[in-house]
A and B are shown apart, each in its own frame.
Chain A
């Protein structure tokens, strides 16, 4: 569990840092293959070209919760990221997520990047 927490933290921090320096390839490397594919098919562009242009407000990590092979990370800028544990390690399955109409537990967040 401690290892998982550290991995989740480093993946999200790497993603946020890549966005801040406008490094699309670096940000895409933290996404799951399914999230990258969805982003590319919905935008018609390469992941590295579109990911830094999305409406994302990340910021520092405010909270991490890990549940089995999934995780939720809340960021200080208001965004939430959802991660999945892949064979090569934790990766971001959805990013730039914000709750719709408050914070109900039974409605999905609206996400800029989503598998």
Chain B
């Protein structure tokens, strides 16, 4: 019982206070978002602010509960908890209730609970536990199973489909980065994203030609113009041949012809390169082929796999579509309300945009509109400042751990908050696509509030017991 008695001295009070302040500010904004003179009691349970009070109260109870549990519990039961939530994610696909087209909710009496909010916590634990068990960090033998741990819930949530939650799981890659995942992995990922955007903006054929151009320049610089020109010559010949054959004989599209040309050229080129034992040009070719196959896959995924509204959202964010028919309605209304807040805001409860319910999901995903409209740039900056404080605090706490387990878990918490913070606020002001994820501790809703509270307090509990661990 030594640990429990001293827990009050050992937990990080700065984080706890930030948590309380955020919940209070969140509640004030929810109250403003659904405010109506006719319902005056703040305890009115028919209103969202009344319900949110209950959620907050329950969150405090939950936090205390987490703090008095034995910290070893999380370490020893990490896999059990992970398995349990994976099971729930499977179960929700079977017996879940469909809301807004996603089978993501369990309905228990009057309450709806979203298991994906809690599965983040479980994934963080499992990932931390796995990384802790490996002494050799950074290698593929560690990283491939780690990615598998992350992808299992991601795939199940993608089936629901709840793309918003899927995006948040990419936060765990920050953990892998901190624990030594190769820089090249991230560079490839960034390149992949860049290619993805380029393909959407310019179409696959111009980008494919562009890639060939880049490969040519790289060869030119690294191996001299003789080799580069030869390679280009081979490719051009292969291209002309495939074009003649493919276009006139089989009626194939330009995209397929480019792929065939690169493959055919590759055979000739491989023979040439092999004879001279040239490693570098082979790598350049491998990148070119990989890039071209990837970009045609992207094109296919975007047009065939993503749902129309998701395509539209991405297109709007990229500024490719003017959208007169209102897929961007949410975003427009959100921009108007935040923009009209100005420097100092319109004052608490005086927002006009937010009152008329022009902004949908006002108290949940778009709660930041109320902040922006009623508190202005000053208020928005304060909220962002609080988050930066919390995030830096979490890094600090994670770095003072002696075990990989707690540090990796701490970074999981940090990264999830970072992604939610940036994506949620970003979408309300048009720097991110509209992805339906909540702003931690601000948005209305029990599942998300409890999910984030558990996430945070398990870390605080583990942190409080850090001296018990041996490094």
Say whether A and B bind each other: no
Interface residues of B (CB under 8 A from A): none
